[in-house]
Amino acid sequence: MPQMIEHIDAIARRKQRDALFVTFSDNPSGERSPHHWEDHPARAAIIASLDARGYAWAPCGDVADERVMRSYGGAIYIDVPFDRDHPSYRELEAFLEYPDGTLRLPHMRLLVIGLAYARKNAHHDEPGFWERRAEDF
């Protein structure tokens, strides 16, 4: 069934804060992952852990770009403030990263989009913006 998936920058604007998200398509060397997002073992492990710990999460798209249309790649938004003093963030970070900042799971990246950066696309929130872009694509 079709579903609307929000871009991560739109989520940051809606939440009015920096937004955490995890992507699964590239490994740290930039090579494509051998897994499709639907059967990606790291994605499945992260979602299971988020669900078990009671974290809210949702599928999300990459930062919106008016010049590009791409299909969903499996990224997920994690509804935890990016705040190193927040206990939920510290728990999440400890699950996803080693103390030196390297990732625990292969072919995934933990990212944050700053609210200031996300606001650069605020014009995308105007009613009908994406519909008009689709007509011109």
- 103 beta partners: 97
- Cα 80 to the chain's mean position, in Å? 12
Instruction: Report the distance separating Cα 118 and Cα 97, nearest Å.
Output: 25
pLDDT tens digits along 78-104:
999 999 999 999 999 999 999 999 999
- Cα 65 to the chain's mean position, in Å? 15
Instruction: Report the distance separating Cα 45 and Cα 53, nearest Å.
Output: 12
In the chain, at which residue ranges do the beta strands (DSSP E only) sit? 19-23, 57-59, 76-78, 109-113
% residues pLDDT > 70 (the chain): 91
User: What predicted TM-score, i.e. pTM, was given to this entire model?
Assistant: 0.85
